[in-house]
Structure 1
Amino acid sequence: MKALLIARRELSGYLRTLSGYVVIAVILALNGLFFNAYALGGASKRSAEVLSQFFYYSSGFTVVASVFISMRLLAEERQTGTLPLLYSSPLRDRDIVLGKFLAGFAFLSLYVLCTLYMPVLVLVNGKVSLGHVAAGYLGLLLLGSASLAVGTFGSALARNQLLAAITSAVMLVALILCWLLARITEQPLSDVFSAMSLWNQHFPPFQSGLIHVRDVVYYVVVTYVALFAATRVLEARRWR
C-alpha cells in the first residue's frame, strides 16, 4: 500500500530528528507534573478517582501533542518546496494524506504509551481496574486520532509549520468550546453543538472507564471528515 510507504518515510523522519523527541519529552514531563500535583497529591483518593483525573489531564496534553506533531506533516512540504515532488510521484492525494496521518498517529501513540507508567504507579498503592485503564487509553487514542486529523487538515491549509499549529489549535479549540454554545442556544441548535463538542460530550465516559458506541463513532467520523478535507485541499492545490 502506497500510504504505508509514505507513513514509513515520515515516521523515520520523526525518529531521526530531535524535535519529535523534544515534543514528547516536554509534554510527558508536564503530564507527569500534573499527575503528581493533582491526581496523586492532596487528600487520599480512591484509585478510580486518581485514574479518572489522570485521563482528564492526559486528554488535554494529548490534544496539545497532536497539534505539535501534525504541524509539520504537510506544511513542512510546502515550506521546504518538496510538495511538487510528491505531486509528480505516482501517488494519489489520499495516499499522501493517509500516509502522513498514519505516521503522525504512530508517533502520537508512542507518546501515549510512554504515559503508561502513571497508572502503574497507581497500581503500586491501590487497585486498578484493567477495564478502566483500557477504556481510558482507547479514549486517548481516539481523541488523539481526531485531533491529529484536524491538525493534518490545518497543516494542509497552512504555508508553514507555525501557521499550521495556529490554524489547528484554533479549529480544535472551536470544537472543544462547542459545549459552551450548546448552553446558550436553544434546541435543536443546542443538541447539534453538544454533539459536536470534541471533549465535553464524548471523552468523559472513557475517562470514567465506560465505552459508548456513539463516542467511538464520533471520533472516527471527525477523523474521516478532517482527512477527507485535507485530501480535497491537496487536490485543489495540485490543479492550480
Structure 2
Amino acid sequence: LRGARVIIACRGEEKARKAVREIRSHNMNVLHMEVDLANMRSIREFSKTFLQKEKRLDILINNADDDFSMCFGVNHLGHFLLTNLLLPRLKESSPSSMINLTCSSYKYQKLDFQDLNYNLFPFVTYCRSKLANICFTQELARTLEGKGVTAYAVHPGYVQSNWICPYSVLFRILVQVVMFMFFVSCEAGAHTVVYCAVSDEVLEHNGGYFTDCQPAHLRAFASDSGVARKLWEASERLVKLA
C-alpha cells in the first residue's frame, strides 16, 4: 500500500510463492529470493546477489520460524551474518532500519558463552536465541549510532504459526486448541513489526525492545552492554566475519 518493493528471502519456495501471491493482491512489486539461514554459504551468496541487483535497502526484517527445534545458528548467527553483509546497503539507504523478531521467552535463560550453540533441550536453545536477538539489536544500535541506521527488537506476541507441523496429530490438535484460545493471528502479530518499520515515534528508542506497538521493559541481564558486546565478538568468530 505504501508502494514498497518487497523481497521475501527464505528457503521454502512453496511457502514463499504463497506469500508472494497474497502480497501481490495489494502490491505487485514483490518477489522471492532464496536463502537458507542455516547455511553460511547460502547467506553469503544471497547477500552478494542482493547487493548486485538492489540499489536500496530501507528496512531489513529478520525473522526465523518460531520452532523450538530451530538451532541457535539459524535464529541468531544466520541473521547476524546476513545483517552485517547487507549493512553497506542499509547505510547507503539511510535513514533505514533493521528489525529483529524476538520473543518474551528470552527472560527464561541467560547466555552461556562456554556453549552458545547448546542444543540438548530445544526450548532452552530457543530462549537463548531470542535473548541473543535482543543483545544483537542493542549492540548494532550502539555500533551504528549517528550513521542513519536504527535497530529494534520486536516481540510480536504469541502467534498462531505453523511450527507444530512436524509433530504428531494429537499434539497438533492440543496445541491448536491452545493457540486458538490464547494466541493472536499472524496479521495481529505483524502490527508491532510494521509500527517499528514505519513510525517516526520509535526513533528515540533506538536499540529498544517493543511489544504491543510500544517500548517494553527488559530484564536487567538482557540490557547488559558488556554481554551484548561479548556476543557480537563471539558471533564474528563463529561466522568468520572479518
Q: TM-score, normalised by structure 2?
A: 0.31
Q: TM-score, normalised by structure 1?
A: 0.31
From the CA coordinates, give the structure whose radius of gyration is larger: 1
More helix by share: 1
More strand by share: 2
